[in-house]
Homo-oligomer: A and B are copies of this chain.
Amino acid sequence: MARALSDRAALPADSVVARRLIRSGAHTGHTSGMAPEFVQGNLCILPAEYAADFAAYCQRNPKPCPLIGMGAAGDPRLPSLGEDLDIRTDVPRYRVFRDGAPVDEPTDIMAYWREDLVSFVLGCSFSFEQPLIEHGIRLRHVERGENVAMYKTNIDTVAAGPFSGKMVVSMRPMYPSEAIRAIQVTSRFPSVHGAPIHIGLPEQIGITDVEKPFAGDPPRMQDDEIPVFWGCGVTPQVAVEQARPPLCITHKPGGMIVTDLRNRDLAAF
């Protein structure tokens, strides 16, 4: 089964099928290309005492932290994102943090679940990359099978309680005409990072060398390209690491929670 999954053609197109496959333990890797018409999300699970502050942090920083789902304390379901969705089993691999430090990477979190845990699902750039590709925009990292380049900026997020920190951005190099089209396309999707937060002059946002990303692969910019920066879902992870809650559970980057929302339904117009 795992071998079949390395062939993109064998990836399930349906979100419910994708979730069942992940729940069964048969798929523990990244979710790029799975159910591509459906929204995938970043996961962050926190104790209830941190929930209001984290919700406020997301609300105040909608570009890097677009909240698309929030559960009730102790309830592993998120029916607005998928009727059968169980947040304890439906992510390929989790990361468990205690006091801000990673301690485990299980494929389910049944053993960690508690009655005071609140789940947050944040929009992810997978949802706008698909429309970009459909609009004829070439994404270099996708073509190369690499991870998008990510950077810590000098832009302060708006703090909420213990949550604060610099904004993390993802960058996609584009020809100027692609950059204009990409701004139009992503502006339609405010719940998955929306329009870029910066374009063209990396040093203005504290990035001195685009070829040395904080995470992801070097973009290998060409002279005829300009850098286009979007708010990145890694931003809340940085904020959570700095807040050092006694327990925090996230997805392992790249392997997202697959929802039943369709990317097209997130279009604002």
Contacts and interface: CB of A to CB of B under 8 A. Distances in A.
A48 interface: no
Nearest to A181: B195
B195 A176 contact: no
A199 B184 contact: no
Contact of A200 (B179, B184, B197): B179
Interface in A227-269: 269
- Tallying the copies of this chain within the complex gives 2
Interface string A187-213: 100000001111111001000000000
A184 B186 CA distance: 10
Contact of A199 (B198, B200, B224, B269): B200
A228 to B, nearest CB: 9
B187 A199 contact: no
B176 A198 contact: yes
Nearest to A177: B198
Given A200-B226, A201-B224, A180 B183 contact: yes
Contacts of A195: 180, 184
Contacts of A200: 176, 179, 199-200, 226
Most buried by B among A197, A226, A269: A226
Contacts of A187: 184, 187
Interface string A163-186: 000000000000011011001100
A187 B226 CA distance: 20
Contacts of A269: 269
Interface in A143-176: 176
Contacts of A224: 201, 204
29 contacts: A176-B198, A176-B199, A176-B200, A176-B201, A176-B204, A177-B197, A177-B198, A179-B199, A179-B200, A180-B183, A180-B195, A180-B196, A180-B197, A180-B198, A180-B199, A183-B183, A183-B184, A184-B184, A184-B187, A184-B195, A187-B187, A199-B199, A199-B226, A200-B200, A200-B226, A201-B224, A201-B226, A204-B224, A269-B269
